[in-house]
Amino acid sequence: MAREQGPEVVMNEPESVGARPVKGAMNRDEAGRGAIAAALRAPEWGLLVGIFVVTAFIYFVDPSRNFFSEYSLKNVLHNVALYGVLSLGAATVIIAGGIDLSVGAVVALSSVFCAKMLTEWLPGLPKPGESLSPFLVAIAVGATLVVGLLVGLLHALMINQFRLPPFIATLATMAGLRSVAIIMSNNRSINVTSSTFRSLGNDNRYTVPIFVAAAILMSVMMGATVLGRHLFALGGNETAARLSGLRTKRLKTIAYGISGMLSALGGILFTGNTGQAQGTMGVSYELYAITAAVVGGCSLAGGVGSIRGTVLGLILIQVVIKGTGIVVKGIDSSQIEGLVLGTVVVLAVAFNERFRGRR
């Protein structure tokens, strides 16, 4: 019996050893198919389909094809770039489990601050009629970004040290910072005539690359770095993240600091676009930013979303707003922005919650 069992063991051993690579290969194939299937189920594909459907509808409904004119498409792209920098910051905070309602107020504050720097505060300003040097413009832009960073750090201080809910902390600064902007501007418009500065916000050759660079940088940070994974973990479950050893307070500081800087960048671009700075600028811009993030797949509960989806969500919003203004005669697109944003954000949140509930 022993002699009969010996060969059986010897015979079975190579079979089991030889079977392992086959099983491993099957697992790799299954993993590959699973990765492909997961990529195909990504919400970005749904946004691309939505953009295609909306543009196709506009194409067939509007025989004049005004939406597809070069001027109209450039205008849509320009608006995407202007509001896009705000949306990137809002998406980062939402993914980290927070909310930033002060985006519009930071836009106003940074707009007035930058304009005052370029017209009154910087030493060595040129006389009226003379051009402003790129060096002075760079100093004003850099200082304005620092102001946005300080606002983000203020939010983090109130949330981390005073333990205020993000909603309350940013709601307070939304009102307070706008009042500061109005006081700084003496409740009047500040004109900025420098062509060097204005080109940052009114020329697509500069505005679009600035937005694209910011989007790529944020996408890489959130999707391919340890910091990005930690921000997702923070938004998914703050208690678990803290017990896992993550420095949650530092992560919140980074998220709100990024949002503040990007909001300040938006204020710079909007000021360059119009050539004017006002304390009343940026009203409801936070709704734009949050709506783009939510439409792009970010969950208001935190821990879910992507920068790619946020950009596509903003494109979809702009196409809907611009297309509605063209298709519906007698209505300007600016008149229906609030209605479109409110409707879209409700539908997006309802759809995302239902979709995630099924999964």
Q: Which residues constitute the domain of residue 156?
A: 42-358
CATH value at residue 62: 1.10.3470
Residues 236 and 209 in one domain: yes
Residues 276 and 232 in one domain: yes
Average pLDDT, the chain: 88
Instruction: Count Cα atoms within 13 angstroms, Cβ side, for 60.
Output: 5
Question: Residues 291-306: pLDDT tens digits?
Answer: 999 999 999 999 999 9
Q: Name the pLDDT band for 325 (thresholds 50, 70, 90).
A: confident
Same structural domain, 246 and 276: yes
Quote the pLDDT of residue 14: 44
Tell whether the model's pLDDT for residue 1 goes beyond 50: no
Overall average pLDDT of the 53-74 stretch: 92
- How far lies 72's CA from each of 313, 321, 329, in Å? 19, 12, 16
pLDDT tens, position by position, 172-211:
999 999 999 999 999 999 999 999 999 999 999 999 999 9
pLDDT above 90 for 342? no
For the chain, the first-to-last Cα distance in angstroms comes to 55
Contact 310, 291 (CB under 8 A): no
The alpha carbon dihedral of 131, 135, 139, 144 has a sign of positive
Residue 320 or 5, more confident? 320
Q: Give the residue among 264, 316, 331, 10 at the shortest CA–CA distance from 113.
A: 264
> Do 152 and 237 share a domain, yes or no?
yes
* DSSP class per residue in 224-282: HSHHHHHHHHHHH-HHHHHHTT--HHHHHHHHHHHHHHHHHHHHHHHHHHHSEE-TTTT
Both 317 and 304 in a single domain? yes
* Average confidence (pLDDT) over 143-161: 98
* C-alpha span between 306 and 303 (Å, rounded): 10
Task: Check pLDDT > 50 for residue 8.
Answer: no
Q: Which of 114, 83, 19 is nearest to 214 (CA)?
A: 83
* Secondary structure letter of residue 5 according to DSSP: H
Same domain flag for 32 and 54:
no
State how many domains the chain has: 2
Based on the fold, state whether residues 135 and 274 are members of the same structural domain: yes
Same domain, 144 and 60: yes
Do 283 and 294 lie in a common domain?
yes
Residue with more model confidence, 243 or 324: 243
pLDDT greater at residue 125 or residue 333: 125
Q: What is the pLDDT of residue 131?
A: 84
Q: Do 22 and 76 have their domain in common?
A: no
The phi, psi pair for 190, rounded to 5°, reads -115, 115
pLDDT beyond 50 at 6: no
**Are 14 and 88 part of one and the same domain?**
no
Say whether both 20 and 156 belong to one domain.
no
% of the chain residues with pLDDT over 90:
71
